[in-house]
Amino acid sequence: MTKEIKKNQETNDLNNEVSCGKLLSSERQAKDLSIKDVARELRIDSSIIKKLENDEFQLIEAPVFVKGYLRQYAGLLGLKIDMVIDSYEKNHPDQSYKPIVNEAEEQIRKYVLTPKLIFIATSVLVIILIGWAIFSAIPQDNPLPAISNNQAVYEEPNPVVEEVVDEEIIEPVSEIDEPEIIEPNPVVEEIAEVKLKVNYNGACWTEIYDAFGNVLFYDLGNNDQDVVVSGVAPLDVLFGAIDQVNNIKVDDQDFALPITSRRGSVLRFEIAILE
């Protein structure tokens, strides 16, 4: 009976438009848990737990991170996850759920040469070179040399013996050398794949693309989760919360993160083939 009463109480709380933050706070206190206890169990900073309970979701980066934190928190307290998420979305209908890391990062990506653009530019250049080679190999029209006819020489006829001599006209032979057509060598592009493995110690939005711009991973990585992908190098990798990434391996070898390209909690870099 106690469990049924508790479930009815949760439903009534949400129906009475109690915010999901207040519901989480009251349930935590009912279980005699402190904010530090919850932060330690979820491996999330205490400041984020306070923001969740105070419904200060606009201070927790993108909405996709908020929903990830709410799922973990509700699961820890034994609440219905779908009900908590529905309450959040109902009270925040204007929030966009597209995973945007931050505005500065989005502006930077507009001016970065992606692997897809590089591939397209290279293909166009190769096509131009092949067309130029074929055009240059086509023989041009050369004018034929003028044919000169030798004029016949007429002699006065001999009054005794009339002899007519016809001079043989020799037609000059013109020889035109056929140019040698050089077939262009086909361009062979080396395609190699790399294997990437990412291990997380917390929630982190992750985007991974291959050299052709294909999406290999586009989701939220969670605590103690391993994400393994393979694709044509170089791989384009973006972490929204780099502090939540435990380690990464490339082709089963440890890979050091290029921290110099980090901007706040966002890290974006490329992974080529290991020598």
Residue 55 DSSP class: T
Q: Which of 41, 57, 91 is the last residue of a domain?
A: 91
- Domain presence at residue 66: yes
What share of residues in the chain are helix, strand, coil (percent, to 5)?
40, 20, 45
Q: What is the DSSP string of 131-153?
A: HHHHHHHSPPP-PPPPPPPPPPP
Closest Cα partner for 63 from 271, 248, 220, 263?
220
Q: Is the distance from CB of 54 to CB of 107 less than 8 angstroms?
A: no
Q: Identify whether 181 is part of a domain.
A: no
Two tokens, residue 158: 């001999």
Task: Judge whether 151 lies within some domain.
Answer: no
Query: Could you list the pLDDT tens digit for every one of the 275 residues in the chain?
Result: 455 545 545 544 444 567 889 999 999 999 999 999 999 999 999 999 999 999 998 888 788 888 899 999 999 999 999 999 988 888 776 554 444 444 545 554 555 567 788 889 899 999 999 988 888 887 665 554 544 455 545 556 565 545 544 555 556 555 556 656 666 565 445 578 999 999 998 889 999 999 999 999 999 888 888 999 999 989 999 989 888 898 899 999 998 888 777 888 898 989 987 76
Residue at 150 is within a domain: no
pTM of the predicted protein model: 0.38
In the listed set 91, 117, 146, which residue is the last one of a domain according to the structure? Answer: 91
76 vs 70: CA distance, rounded Å: 10
Per the structure, the count of domains in the chain is 2
Residue 155 lies in a domain: no
Is residue 118 a part of any domain in this protein?
no
Give the domain extent around 66. 2-91
Rounded to the nearest angstrom, the gap between the alpha carbon of residue 79 and the centroid of all alpha carbons in its chain is 37
